[in-house]
Structure 1
Amino acid sequence: MASIQYPENADLRSLLRFAAEDGLIWLGEHRMLLLHAGAMAELRKELIESVGREQARRILTRMGFASGMRDAELARKTRSGSDLADAFVMGPQLHMLEGCARVEPVRLEFGGPGNSFYAEFLWENAWEAEAHVQAFGESAEPVCWMMIGYASGYTSAFTGRFILFRETECAATGQERCRIVGRPAEDWPDADTLLPYFQADSIVGRLLELREEIEAMRRTISCPRRTPDLIGSSAAFLHAYDLIGRAASTNVSVLLLGETGVGKERFARTLHEMSARKDEAFVAVNCAALPDELIESELFGVERGAFTGAHTSRAGKFERAHGGTLFLDEVGELPLPAQAKLLRALQEGEIERLGDERTRKVNVRLVAATNVDLQKAVNAGTFRRDLYYRLNVYPVTIPPLRERTGDIPALVEAMVRRFETLHGKRIAGLSDKAMHALKLHAWPGNVRELENVLERGVILAPQNGQIEVEHLFIGTLDEHAREHSLSAQGGLETARRAQQDLAAAVLDSGMSLDAFEQRLLQHAVERANGNLSAAARLLGMTRPQLNYRIKKQGA
């Protein structure tokens, strides 16, 4: 058949029984354990680090194989009178019930002439892929070893012949989800390379190989590839980082492209720190935050008397960055006159202060950044074509956070530790549901938005407690999201998730009202880029009222 639909799973749920007084959980007549996914992830991580990747893969594959065989036995018994396909898909349904992944059938064909078999499924939210990325970052190869073992063991036991599944796509490699394909072992041309993972093997015979792997790991640890300010291991992040590293040893002007909040200034600072200019100044300018009439004086300096109010001569950003790096953020917002002067500074290496006829030599590496399409701005006549070509010599596109979700666990860990120190709290990490919500979020504000969300989470989470999803996305959870809970009889029933409102979250956090108000005022001012009138509008008050509260709080 080309595609299949799952039968109603009430028969599966009726098999699940919780005997709390006896400390037992039953799935049919099989005893089950309700384990923390985080604990399994830690065990998996320790296994890989202790015995090496290959041996860990063999152990986990065989463990999954044994689990799948037991579920196949249950499926045959439970759906003995059902259609063959309905009976078979009890395995994928059990895999979902057991919390391993959401399994979507793509194609299932078996029986017929020659007793052929072919199966293809999609896994969403595969726990093993998530655990691997959280522990080691994105992988170059598929890593759902235990889950592949389960699929192979279940199908082999169900069909009575060895069926070998493999991942053709894996979420741990940056794919949107995992894709698995199952065929008889003899139908895979490279089956000989896969079969050893399903066979027992003495760990003693692999000690020499493991020692070499450990030495390789030590060399990797001793030579970190990234600076502390930049965190990530996804392919898109590493590509941008590699381009920055190649530019660092040169004096080429760099154009950083990307959405708001992706961390363009951090990439610029990293470029500066990796270059020979690292001991000189790094000067950052947000072109969008400066009024048009002040941009030229800020960038190129001003001589006394150049205009009303210019009582003293003052060096501009180019002179202050002499010998170092000048970072121009939102360069697309520069007015045309300032663009002309910028082009001359880049081409000739000299500037003129406003109101001065004397030229001054400057030795500056320029790093520009923008989140707008400069080519469109050129076509619209708002950006000089010659300046665009001068800046676009070495473009580096920084990926948005939604394209590097595999980096979220590492970013979360670093940010939570920083906010713990800032707010004087101890946090026991994030709940599994909270981490899952972070990975599902679209992140229109990118890394900056993630920082804000996590800081709120640290503030609202109880001391020594976990950050839960309600602390991160207050009032934005789907109130219709349904989960299964236990009835008094030990069965499963649908329950609606309760939302936690902001007031309850603040009370549970143990934070004082004054401290919360101070943080709220600071966030409003930061979001408004220092514009107090805009911050007051965000808070629904007048600017004098905001000024009073800021002075009162000392914010």
Structure 2
Amino acid sequence: MSEQPALQFPTPEDLISQIQFDHENGKIWLDEQRMLLIHSAVMGSLRTELVASLGIERARGFLMRFGYNSGMRDAELAHKIRPEITKAEAFLVGPQLHCIKGMVRVEPVVLEFDLPDKQFYAEFNWYDSYEADVHINEFGISEEPICWTLLGYASGFSTYYMGHKVIFKEIQCAGTGADHCKIVGKPATEWDDQEELERCLLPDPIADELFALRYEVSTLKENFQAHHCPSDEILFNSVGQSDAFKHVCHLIQRVSDSTVTVLLQGETGVGKEVVARALHQSSQRANEPFIAINCACIPPDLIEAELFGVRKGAYTGATESREGKFERANNGTIFLDEVAELSPRAQATLLRVLQEGELERVGDNQLRKIDVRIVAATNENLTDAVKAGKFREDLYYRLNVYPVLIPPLRERAEDISLLVDHFLEKYHTKYNKQTLGVSEKALQALMNYKWPGNIRELENMIERGIILTDNNRSIDMSSFFPSLSEPTHPLNIISKTGELSCLARKDMPKGEVIDQLLNHDFDLTQFEQQILERAMEKAEGNITQAARILGITRPQMAYRLKKA
């Protein structure tokens, strides 16, 4: 059993240093989680309204779950901030944060636990509980203990830390007239009233009823829209709410029931194939084939055979006749990605398909009629390709009947959080893991990042983050941006706002700083060593504090020091 006879709190500086007041942007941070300063009286008003609308038992359960989730978040922080001290000292992060946040003054009495054997017992005294104060102000002296949020916090923190359900009970409460509160915590299985205690931490049936009703109304609404008023804001298999996204949805909806050729334009990774599939699924051809092909992936000498088919004996290796992609897509839709990469002969054949609706297989002279909806896509400027003689001008005009420009992700900032949730759900299922999602500071970094790879890059980042993050942990910035966790030049570290940080004045252009460094016999290794040494001097030899000064984690700092 891990026991701490004196039960003295460790110094709180490491916790207090995690609090950052970013008043210019209206944010308060505790590590990578956004926090709020809220009047305790306002929490009292909320408590009063909950009791009045839900009844005292349901209000109690709601506030306990509220505290429970908060405790779970802070327990994750405990592992991160105090990885090298005793388990008991690390556990005391929870009670210390209760004090630092102004919720209650905590006095540890007994703390005994054994992580491998899942044994736990703790006693704490609480003084000046904000919950007791607000309850007495609103309702007067209570007959039952009423520090529900604080109890939930203690239970959530301990449950996360121990890896199994731990529940605290308030055996003495200032809200009932006692001079202070006292709580006892132990595994849920050791309480005689385990079922009743655990019921408070389960979702309230009233919430389930409301969600079920909302789902039923939503389903009825969707069915009505599907039969009476097709939406121009729905793009199958995609996610978004920005005006730019809705505009693309509107354009696709308007053209879906026609047979006109559509040209999708946009940077790499913006989701052109997703849009093409949406166009197909919302058209009258939805039950027919959808064939997607990347023209850049097929050798020029084979692309005609792949697209239009080949007759047996047409060339060495053509041992049998076979149909091409266009014939397979007959009556459906074919998506030609990177269409600018088509060979000149393939361009000529494609033009004939567009004009006449017929084709000949390679080496054959039989005309075959086809009915295919063509959706072409390119991230290259076809006008420039025409001027350079790379692309046929007449084909360009045939493809460019209905152009749709898909905006880059940096112009769809409102969609990033929705896309993050979408990809989290996808890869939680794929890897059979369940993280706590993206930390708020990491989400801010994702919002500010410029996304050269667009949605494809975002999806890859989320997949990487889930792989690198343990179950029931938040995905932090170092899991997204490799430069935060790899030993690279300090100038290349991604800042906490998702931008390239630079050791320079805010008003000095980044390029100017780098030019100044490179103009003076710059030595990368020596420069990094000097930065590390200076940070250690400022931190008076404290590695954790030095890492905080440089904006990196302690393990990254230790790695760099060892390397230097």
In the superposition, the TM-score normalised over structure 1's length comes to 0.50
**Mapped partners of 2:379, 2:34: distance in 1:** 39
Q: 2:303 aligns with which of 292, 295, 302?
A: 295
Provide the residue aligned with 1:239 in structure 2: 247
What is aligned with 2:106?
Answer: none
Query: Which of 540, 549, 554 is the equivalent residue of 1:495?
Result: 549
Unpaired runs of at least 5, structure 2:
1-11, 22-27, 50-215, 226-230, 485-492, 496-500, 504-534, 560-564
1:406 to 414, 422, 432: 414
**2:71 matched to which residue of 1?**
none
Asked if 2 retains the 8 angstrom alpha-carbon contact of 1:443 and 1:449, the reply is yes
Does residue 350 of structure 2 align to residue 348 of structure 1? no
Distance between the aligned counterparts of 2:317 and 2:361, measured in 1?
A: 15
In structure 2, give the amino acid aligned to 1:289. Answer: C
Paired amino acid for 1:498: I
Q: Residue type matched to 1:455 in 2?
A: E
Structure 2 counterpart SS, 1:498: coil
Q: Indicate if the aligned counterparts of 1:264 and 1:369 stay in contact, CA closer than 8 A.
A: yes
1:499 positional shift? 3.7
Deviation digits for residues 65-89 of structure 1 (CA, Å, limit 9, x no counterpart): xxxxxxxxxxxxxxxxxxxxxxxxx
Identify which of 356, 361, 368 aligns with 2:376: 368
Q: How does 1:64-463 map to 2 (within 5 A)?
A: 223=225, 225-463=233-471
Per-residue CA deviation, residues 19-44 of structure 1 (Å, 9 max, x unaligned), is 999xxx99xxxxxx988647799x9x
Q: CA deviation at 1:287?
A: 0.3
CA shift digits 1:404-423 (9 cap, x unpaired): 01100000000011011111
Equivalent position SS for 2:313: coil
- Distance change >3 Å, CA 372–CA 500, structure 1 → 2: farther
Whole-angstrom CA distance in 1 between matches of 2:556 and 2:289: 43
**Cα shift readout 1:4-61 (whole Å, capped 9, x = no counterpart):** xxxxxxxxxxxxx99999xxx99xxxxxx988647799x9xxx9xx9xxxxxxxxxxx
Letter in 1 for 2:396: Y
Q: Is the 8 A contact 2:269 2:454 kept in 1?
A: yes
Gaps of at least 5 residues in structure 1 are 1-16, 27-32, 51-214, 506-555
Q: Distance in 2 between matches of 1:455 and 1:393?
A: 37
Deviation at 1:475, TM superposition (A): 2.0
Structure 2 distance, partners of 1:20, 1:457, is: 25
Q: CA 1:19–1:243 in 2, change beyond 3 Å: closer, same or farther? A: closer
Greater Cα radius of gyration, structure 1 or 2 = 2
Q: Is the 8 A contact 1:38 1:432 kept in 2?
A: no
How far 1:495 sits from its partner (Å)? 2.9
Q: Deviations over 1:417-438 (max 9, x none)?
A: 1011111111111001110111
2:438 and 2:335 map into 1 onto residues whose CA distance is: 35
Match of 1:532 in 2: none
Q: Distance in 2 between matches of 1:441 and 1:327?
A: 30
**1:401 Cα deviation (Å)?**
0.5
Match 1:467 to one of 458, 461, 475: 475
How has the CA–CA distance of structure 1 residues 262 and 363 changed in structure 2, closer, same or farther, with 3 Å as cutoff? Answer: same
Q: 2:34·2:441 contact (CA, 8 Å) conserved in 1?
A: no
Q: Is the 8 A contact 2:359 2:367 kept in 1?
A: yes
Q: Is the 8 A contact 2:291 2:335 kept in 1?
A: yes
Q: TM-score w.r.t. structure 2 length? A: 0.49
Distance (whole Å) between structure 1 residues aligned to residue 439 and residue 14 of structure 2: 26
* 2:114 aligned residue: none
The offset of 1:474, in angstroms, is 1.9
What is the root-mean-square deviation in Å for CA atoms of aligned residues?
A: 4.2
1:441 CA drift (Å): 1.1
> Residues 438 and 264 of structure 1: is their aligned pair in 2 closer, same or farther, counting only changes over 3 Å?
same
Look up the equivalent residue of 2:402 and give its one-letter code. Answer: Y
